[in-house]
């Protein structure tokens, strides 16, 4: 069986734990939860969750993103961007659907599009 034909079973996702710091870009096909720090861009086709302790310094492109932590950079989501009450975002947002909870902090511009898949 070739490596490209192997499909993960179950609800697999990646986790960047608190205390982990990554310098560089990340490309992924599975969902990811980030509680650590990433200094670089994130390119994904699934869901990205930035936890309360998560810090992103770079641009993010994905299908859906939930932000509870801090992001400095532009975010493009083909479906939904969700800023939770603890989110701190400094950058421009491009998405089909946006949700911003009370007390979330957002500095930048937001453009809604019909790029929803």
Residue 7 makes CB contacts below 8 A (sequence gap 6+) with none
pTM: 0.87
* pLDDT tens-digit series, residues 17-44: 999 999 999 999 999 999 999 999 999 9
Cα–Cα distances (Å) from 58 to 3, 11, 22, 25, 103, in that order, read 31, 27, 12, 9, 23
pLDDT of residue 13: 76
The domain ranges of the chain are 12-100
Six token digits for residue 55: 């810090």
Contact 82, 63 (CB under 8 A): no
pLDDT tier at 1 (50, 70, 90 boundaries)?
very low
Contact 90, 108 (CB under 8 A): yes
Q: Rg of the chain's alpha carbons, rounded to an integer?
A: 14
Q: Could you give the CA distance from residue 30 to residue 72 in angstroms, rounded to a whole number? A: 23
Closest CA to 66 of 29, 35, 24: 35
């Amino acid at each position: 069986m070739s490596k490209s034909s192997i499909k993960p079973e179950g609800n697999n996702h990646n986790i960047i734990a608190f205390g982990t710091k990554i310098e560089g870009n990340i490309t992924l096909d599975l969902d990811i939860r980030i509680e650590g720090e990433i200094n670089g861009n994130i390119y994904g086709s699934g869901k990205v969750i930035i936890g309360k302790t998560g810090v992103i310094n770079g641009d993010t492109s994905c299908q859906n993103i939930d932000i509870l932590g801090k992001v400095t950079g532009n975010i493009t989501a083909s479906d939904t961007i969700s800023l939770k009450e603890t989110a701190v975002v400094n950058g421009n947002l491009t998405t089909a659907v946006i949700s911003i909870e009370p007390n979330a902090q957002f500095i930048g511009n937001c453009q809604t599009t019909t790029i929803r898949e």
